Every structure is written in C-alpha cells, then in structure tokens.
Amino acid sequence: MMAAILMAQSPARAALDDRFTRLVLDHQRRIYRFIFGMVGVEALAEDLTQDVFLSAYRALDRLPADANEQAWLFTIARNRALQELRRRKILRWVPLARPREEGEGDDDTHPFDEGAPLADAVAERDRLRRAMAQVPPKDLACLLLSIDGHSYKEVAEITRLTVPAVRARIFRARERLRQLLSADGDLSLPAEDEA
Amino acid sequence: MIGLLRPGAHDRRWGPLVSAWYDRETTPAETDAVTRHIARCGRCRARIATYGTIERELRAALQRTPVPPARPIFAAAEARRGRMRWPAARAVAGLCATLLLALAIASPPGRALIGTAANVAQQIAGSRTANYAGEHALFRAPAGSAIAYQAHRYSVMSATADGARIEPLGTILVDGGGIWALAGGRVLYDAGSGGQHEWMVAAPDGSAAAPLPNAGNRDVVDVTPDGTRILLRASGRDGAYATAPSATEVLDATGAVLWTGSDAPAANGIDAYALSADGNYIVSGDTGAITLYPIGDAPSLPPLTISGYAVRRPQMARNGALAFAAQALSGPSAGTTTVYVYTREHDLPGIPHGDAFPPGSDPLFALAPDGSLLAVWGMRGASTLTIWGLAGSAAGKVYQDPHVAGVTVHALRWSPDGATLLVIGVDAAGRQIAYLLRPSADLSMARFTSLATDANVAAANWRPDDSLLLLSDAGVPTGFVAVPANGRTLALGLPEDAGARPVFGAGGYLALLKMDRPARFLALRGHDPAPVPGTIAALSWTGDGSGRAAVVVGGQVYLYSPRSGLAAQPLMEGVDVHWSPSGDRLLVVHADGGAEIVAVDGTPIARAPTGIDGRTLAWAPSEATLAGVQRGADGDHLVLWSLDGRITVRASAQKIGRIAWSPDGRQIAYSADAGGGARLEVVPVRGGTPIDLGPLAALDDDFVWRGDGRALLVIDHQQVGEPGMLVALASDGTGGNPLGLPSVVHLYPGPR
C-alpha cells in the first residue's frame, strides 16, 4: 500500500518527501531532546515534536533548497516550546526518567548510575528539574541550544537574537542554575561572587 | 569593555566573558584577556568548574531521557489525542507514507551507525562538547573502568500466572540459554556460550550475579517446582548427555551438593531428565526399566521393570504417578513411541495416552506436579497438543489445543500448582513464541494467553509462586560494558558492532569509532566539516581534556583540534600514534616497526633504539619512560626506554606480546611465551621477579588493568575472538574470580 501511495505522488512531492524523511532521520531526536529540556514532560515533548515536524512538513516546499534546515527546525521547535509554556503559564515538570508505574518491577537503576539507588537518582533529577524550571525559558532555550553544539551565531539565527544577546542569555541561564544548585546545597558549587 | 577590567582583579563584569570563553565564543583579544584573568582569579576558575558541572548534569539528564523513535512519537501522540487534530488528511497520508519510508530506511542494522565516527568524534572532542545524541552511542564510563565488548544482553521479565501483566525486572548478560527460578527469589541462568555452561545466580533484576557453586560445565535439566533442588548433567563427547553416573548431580539452591552419581549404585548409567515433583527422587529411564534414585533421606524404591520398551524421560508427580515415553523394541510397533502413565493401580507399563508416534517423531510431554493432568505434544503429520485428565474432575477428559497449529513446540511446563501449562515453541514464521493454557476443571475448554512481548521469548520458566520468568531479547541486543573497579558491571548500551572500537574523550565520555568506513571529523563551531581523506586506521585522544586527537589515515598522521578541525596537511608518516599522558608529545610508529617521539608540531624529540618494536611501546603514566619489547636473537626482552636513550631490561622470554602499565605506573603486565604457551605476567617497574598470573589464549589476547591496579581483567576463552567469561586475576598472583560477564569478546582500557 505504501508503494502505491508513493507511486501516486508527483516527482516534486516525492522529492519533498525524501527531503522530509531526511529531516526526520537527522533531527528528530535532537529536536525531541531540546523540547524535552524546555518543557520537562515526555508526553508533551512527544506532542510538540510531532507539531514541529508537521509544521515543517507543511512549510517545507517554501524552504529554499540551500536553507539551514537545522536552524529552521530548531526555530520552529523553540517557538513551539515557548508558545506552549506561555499557554500553560506554569512549567510542569516530571522526573527526567520515565516514572515507574504502580507495581512495576524494581528496575531502580539506570545504566549510567552505576547501581545508584532510585531514590538518589530521582532526588538528583528533581533537584535539576526544579532548578531548570526557575530559569527564564528564553534563557534556558539559548543554553540548551548551546549545549546541543550550536555556535552562538547559530543560536542567534534560531532565536532571532543578536550574538551579544545570546551571550548574555546563556550567561544568565548558567548563573541562575549556579545560584539555584548552590543554594540547594547538593552540589559543591562555589557561592556567587561578591565583588 | 575589556579595557575597563583589570586582569588580576575579580569583577562581576568578567562573568559573561568567562561564560563565552568557556564556550570558545570569545574574540582573540577577549580570549587573551580572559585567559590572563583566570590564571590569577580563583573565583572565575571555580566558576568555570561549576559551569562544567552544570553542563555535565544537564547533558546527563537529557541523555537519560529515552527518545522514542519516530513512529511511536507520532502514534503515541495520536493515541492521546484520540482523533486527528490536523485537518489536512491528504497531508497526513503523505506524512505517514513518508514516515514509514523513513522508518524503513532506518531499519537496517547499519543505519544507527551511519555517520557515527563523524558525530561522536565531534561530540567527545571535549567533555563539554559531548552532546546528548544518545542514538549515536555516546555514553560515559566511570574513570578507571575497563570496557568489555559483550555478545548479548537479555531482559528478564516477570509475568503474572495468567500472563496478563508482563513487566521488566532487569537485564542479564547472556548468550541465550535457559532460565530457572530458585527458592528465595533468585534467578538461575546460563551465562555460558559456545557449548560451555556457566550457571549464574542473580537477583531478579540481574544484579548481584555470582556463579552457582559446584555447577561446573554442566547443563541444568530440571529444577523442582519449589526451586530448592537442581538436577545437572554433563555432556559426553558426542554432545548428548553422558549417562555415566558421575555425570549427574543434584545441588540445592545455594549450590551445595545433595546427591552425586559417583556414589550411586548405577551400573548401567543414569539417564534422568527430571526430579520427582517432591524433589525426593531422580527419575531415570533405561531400556526396560525406570529407576528412582533417592535424594537425602528419601526411602529407596525398587526399579520398575517395563520389558520390551526403551523408556525415555520419565517424570514423577507428587502422588507417585509416573509419565514416560516408551519406544517399542520389537513386534509390529517396533520404533514407535507412546506416552504412558503408570500408577500403582495399573499393571506395567501403565495406560497409553494417545496413539503411538511414528519412528523419529518422539513426543514431548509434561506431567502436572500434582499428577492430575498430562500434556502431550507431537507431530503426527500435524502439530498436536493434547491435555489429558488423570485425576479429579478432569479424570478421563481430553482437551485438544487449536493454537498449536503450525507451531513446533520445544518445551511444555506446568505451573507449580498444576493449573497452567506454559508452551514454548517456534511458529511458522520462525518466531519464538510462548503462550499459556489454563484448562477448565472439566477440560471442556482452556483459556489461552499469548506471552507477547516486543521481542523473542528466548526462555521462560515458572517461579514457585506460580508467576513466570521470561528471558527476552528486547532492547539493545548487545552492548559495550564498563567494568569499574568495584566489579559491578555497567551496561553502556552501545550497539552491537564488532568492527567498532570504543574511544574516549575527557570526562570518560565514550563513543564508538567505526574503523572500516570513511569518516568525517566535524570541526566544532564555526568551521566547515573536514572530511577525513580515507579510513581511520588509528586514533588517539589527548587525556588533558583539550579535545585534541591524532588520527592515522592512509599511512599519514593528522592532528585534530576542536577549534580548527582536522588539519588539511598530515603531520608526518606513521601507522600508529599515541599521545603522551600530558598531551605534549606524540609517539608515532612507522611501517617498518620503528618509532619516534615528536612534538606537537612534528619536531623530532627522540627515536626508539634499534631492536625495539615500536608497535609494542606504551607510555608510562609519568611520561618519563616508555615500555616496549626489544627483539633479539636470544629472545624478546621487556625494556624500559628513557628518552635520554637508556634501556633497562625488566623481563625476558622466548616471545613477548602486549604490554600494559598499571594505573600507578609501578608495575607492567605483559603477555609472554617461554615455549609452553602464552602466559600473563607482571613485573615491578623497579625490577624484580615476574609473577605468573595464568594462561592466555595467545600472545595477542586482551588484558586490561582494573582501575584500582590490584587486578587484571582477562577473558577465559580458548581462542582470541571467541566469547568467554570475564575473569579478574589478582596482580599479586593469588588467584582469580569470574566476574559474571559471559561471552566477552574483547577488552579495552577505559578512561583514567
């Protein structure tokens, strides 16, 4: 059936679909993780990721062939995430790991955790989660994009900001996290400077 | 603004600059200013350290987040919404088709690693640049751990007795094999491979795995329903179970020997596939007889003589009923096999259940522990599974299962309470399947439940509480595994790829490097991708966190840095390269086996003396010397080469293979062959008598120091490249311990 659908498409549509296929394969996971970093809820991140790619699919025929597709997708993703956060007015966070359902087995370690008890891992994630929730979303978006490997120039392109503004927002996000995590007392971070 | 800031004084205004410097996003002038400032300002150095901590935590948190593949993302979102939210149905159809196509493209095993070298090289160039593209196999291994390449990984799952709920319990590292439930909630599984058995006992989540004492290289053929007694048999030369009495043994759940065939008066041998349901007897079939060997204080029982039949696989219920397959030895039915049930009320051999199976078509059967039901499966032209009522309200009734059509059954097991039958087999499409049948009291019907998981059910068995254990190959089929000094293994989740090598960046970040396909090194920020002009033959990262690397491509050494990407021009010729621990110098090995030390700009520093095999050279952690092998007419010598030209012999042998410095630089481990086969030895760097730790499969076999320097990890296998059990050998020669990692194929040093 799939073949029939594809065969019925025009060459232009098929080329567009090829391009979209590549977009999904190349960027879907990074977009999902970025959105998840912004909204902190897996199910919501899945929904928003879908929305991002649906938007991309609809607009792809208007995107120049030599456009920076990655920056374009991240722009859509950032805007969609911010729109959602504005709509909700609050940041809803759940543990970064998929929460255990009632009656689920004692699979309480994560491959990264070297056997750390679930309680420790959840506490660590909760601490980070609380801190991330208190960083202004636009600042957090810049920091997450930077961590994702984007240069300041690319972050500026995605966020429609200037490079100095990006620099300032990333600094602010870092400092906010630094303050929050230091105040939390769980991380041995130096106190904020006084001078 | 820089001009307003005093280089040595801390000032809040340095913050944004330091943040940008941390991201390598400063101008050259700013870079110089910040570099000078942080050299004097402890607060800003601390700030940078906290930035690193925060970034690592953020990245790790995001890495932990499972990324659903494309189809589940869209499908799950749709399921939640309950209806199509977007109106353009045509667009949706096109989208679905495109996604299906995308998934089809993504499906081939190699797809996940396309671009791996390029992506992960970029990602691990420095710890802070490692992003969270988990699909590209980027993971962190603890400092001091060794990395083992492991053959298979299976998930242990539990299922309720009715099969309605299947839940993951954990992961165990096995190459298939069986799984059994023991008393006390423990799980018994076979961690062996290649025809060898390594029975391990672990918690249900796979943790705290330890070998079952006294199991040896034997197969577990039965465990009593209460999980307290284990029947083991050794294989003979032909691969079938040996019938010599000494080949059979019974252990309890702790591995203590309860019964050994060596002491049994069994002149004709023992051919047992079952313990009696009450655990008191070994039930052995023979030509013309069934023999019951009592265990512990159980009273002796006389053998049952069944003349004219070869008795196979007898089973005994708690009520004393016996079921067995009997092959007629003579007469018109010679060669056919019939399943009989015998109780004291019958004359021998008992009552046949079902027609005879033709020669070559031996039936499978299972007698319920309480003796009330008998299940028989076999091929009489078609696959048939029949349940016979033997006692109670089901007595004399028969149930024929319709679900078995097209299925080749290879295991039938009743639950401990005798209420539910587990059927394991392979369907017409070659898929391994498992399902449950719960017959009604009058055998008029049976409730069917498929134990459907996302993957094959490799093995299944009942637990004493009538729930089920499943061994499923769901999830990542294989992994690289980190083995920290504490011995607790840590699955890294890297995909199966025997052609890949783990490589490390700062902070223990680990990636796979494909060695057999062209790659691209991506410059980090603001640079175009730099294609690697060929296949990477060798790669070495500096250990200083700067993210620099040296790569060998086409017999040329290229340098790579995060700032400028891969150098356009090679540094020099070479076939292998190793950074010094400080990252200041390079050891370059040439095609003729010679080697030299060069500065980062290629300036020669020292050339290895003639006779030293450059391919064996290894930097001491202190960087003051290198250890290597000097080949001579009188054999091989393990030597220390100081860069001032001094050579000091530390050990000699007919042949010496590989060398590994201990983490503290005080000892050197090496493989040597003095004529009797490869051995692993350790010698103090200051000199002394080498300690023989044990045999290796070959001189080029893998061995790695454990992070604490107190043991070396080796693979217990007969041949390099074959899977084997991971073993830790104490570096003082006092012995070794298996580490519960079966089928390890290769070992690599981990991050320090």
ipTM of the complex: 0.74
Residue A164 covered by a domain: yes
Query: Which element (helix H / strand E) includes A18?
Result: helix A11-39
State the pLDDT at residue B470: 84
CA proximity to B740, closest of B518, B411, B491: B491
Residues of chain B with pLDDT under 50: 4, 69-139, 475-477, 493-496, 506, 514-530
State the pLDDT at residue B50: 84
Per-residue burial over B378-404, b if 16 or more Cβ lie within 10 Å, else e, is beeeebbbbbbbbbeebeebebebeeb
Residues of chain A with pLDDT under 50: 1-9, 89-122, 185-195
The C-alpha atoms of residue A187 and residue B629 are separated, in whole angstroms, by: 47
Contact B133 A190 (CB under 8 A): no
Residue A108 covered by a domain: no
**Same-domain pairing of A28 and A89:** yes
Contact B67 A47 (CB under 8 A): no
DSSP letter at B215?
Answer: -
The C-alpha atoms of residue A18 and residue A85 are separated, in whole angstroms, by: 32
Q: Considering only alpha carbons, which residue of chain B is nearest residue A37?
A: B62
CA proximity to B435, closest of B447, B445, B422: B422
Q: Which residues in chain A have their CB less than 8 angstroms from residue B707's CB?
A: none
Whose structure tokens read 């993957």?
A: B455
Contact B139 A28 (CB under 8 A): no
**Same-domain pairing of A84 and A21:** yes
State the pLDDT at residue B113: 23
**Pairs of CB atoms within 8 A across A/B:** 195
- Across the interface, of B74, B106, B493, the residue whose CB is closest to A50 is B74
Q: Which residues in chain A have their CB less than 8 angstroms from residue B565's CB?
A: none
CA dist B572 → B546, B556, B576, B607 (Å): 22, 6, 11, 14
**If you write DSSP's letter for every residue of B590-611 in order, what string do you get?**
-TTS-EEEEETT--EEEEPPTT
**Same-domain pairing of A80 and A143:** no
- Across the interface, of A25, A125, A193, the residue whose CB is closest to B10 is A193
**Same-domain pairing of A90 and A121:** no
Residue A63 covered by a domain: yes
Each as own residue / partner, the long-range contacts of residues B286-291 (CB below 8 Å, 24 or more positions apart, any chain) are B286/B310, B286/B311, B287/B311, B287/B329, B290/B314, B290/B322, B290/B324, B291/B266
- Across the interface, of B47, B80, B86, the residue whose CB is closest to A54 is B86
Give the 3-state DSSP-derived string for A44-85, with helices as H, strands as E and coil as C. Answer: HHHHHHHHHHHHHHHHHHHCCCCCCHHHHHHHHHHHHHHHHH
Residue A47 covered by a domain: yes
Pick the last residue of a domain from A94, A129, A155: A94
Counting every residue written for chain A, the total comes to 195
Q: Considering only alpha carbons, which residue of chain B is nearest residue A36?
A: B62
Task: Output the CA angle A21-A27-A33, nearest 5 degrees.
Answer: 140
State the pLDDT at residue B340: 93
State the pLDDT at residue B415: 95
Contact A178 B47 (CB under 8 A): yes
**Same-domain pairing of A130 and A86:** no
User: Which residues, in sequence order, are CB contacts of B347 under 8 Å at separation 6+?
Assistant: none
Interface test with B, best of A33, A41, A127, A166 (most B CBs within 10 A): A33
User: Which residues, in sequence order, are CB contacts of A144 under 8 Å at separation 6+?
Assistant: A34, A37, A38, B58
Which CATH number fits the domain that encloses residue A145? 1.10.10.10
Confirm or reject CATH 2.130.10.10 for domain B154-472, answering yes or no: yes
* Chain A stretch 15-54, residues whose beta carbon is closer than 8 A to a beta carbon of chain B: 17, 20-21, 24-25, 28-30, 32-33, 36-37, 42-43, 46-47, 49-50, 54
Q: Which residues in chain B have their CB less than 8 angstroms from residue A54's CB?
A: 86, 91, 95
**How close, in Å, is residue A65 to chain B by CA atoms?**
18
The C-alpha atoms of residue B672 and residue B661 are separated, in whole angstroms, by: 15
Q: Which residues in chain B have their CB less than 8 angstroms from residue A167's CB?
A: 16, 19-20, 25
Q: Give chain A's domain count.
A: 2
Residue A111 covered by a domain: no
- Where do you find CATH 2.130.10.10 in chain B? 154-472
Q: How many CB atoms lie within 10 A of CB B332?
A: 6
Range of the domain at A71: 13-94
**Same-domain pairing of A70 and A126:** no
Contact A195 B77 (CB under 8 A): no
The C-alpha atoms of residue B326 and residue B286 are separated, in whole angstroms, by: 10
- Across the interface, of A9, A171, A189, the residue whose CB is closest to B53 is A189
Query: Which element (helix H / strand E) includes A107?
Result: none
**Same-domain pairing of A90 and A120:** no
Contact A21 B67 (CB under 8 A): no
The C-alpha atoms of residue B127 and residue B56 are separated, in whole angstroms, by: 8
Contact at 8 Å (CB) between B463 and B157? no
Contact A152 B23 (CB under 8 A): yes
Residue A1 covered by a domain: no
**Same-domain pairing of A38 and A81:** yes
Q: Is A128 on the interface with B (CB under 8 A)?
A: yes
**How close, in Å, is residue B255 to chain A by CA atoms?**
26
CA proximity to A146, closest of B561, B59, B551, B334: B59
φ/ψ (deg, to 5) at B45: -65, -40
**How close, in Å, is residue B593 to chain A by CA atoms?**
40
Residue A120 covered by a domain: yes
Q: Considering only alpha carbons, which residue of chain A is nearest residue B131?
A: A148
C-alpha neighbours within 13 Å on the C-beta side of residue B600 = 12
State the pLDDT at residue B129: 26
**Same-domain pairing of A122 and A90:** no
**Same-domain pairing of A19 and A87:** yes
Contact A105 B15 (CB under 8 A): no
Contact at 8 Å (CB) between B266 and B245? yes
Q: Is A102 on the interface with B (CB under 8 A)?
A: no
- Across the interface, of B70, B97, B139, the residue whose CB is closest to A28 is B70
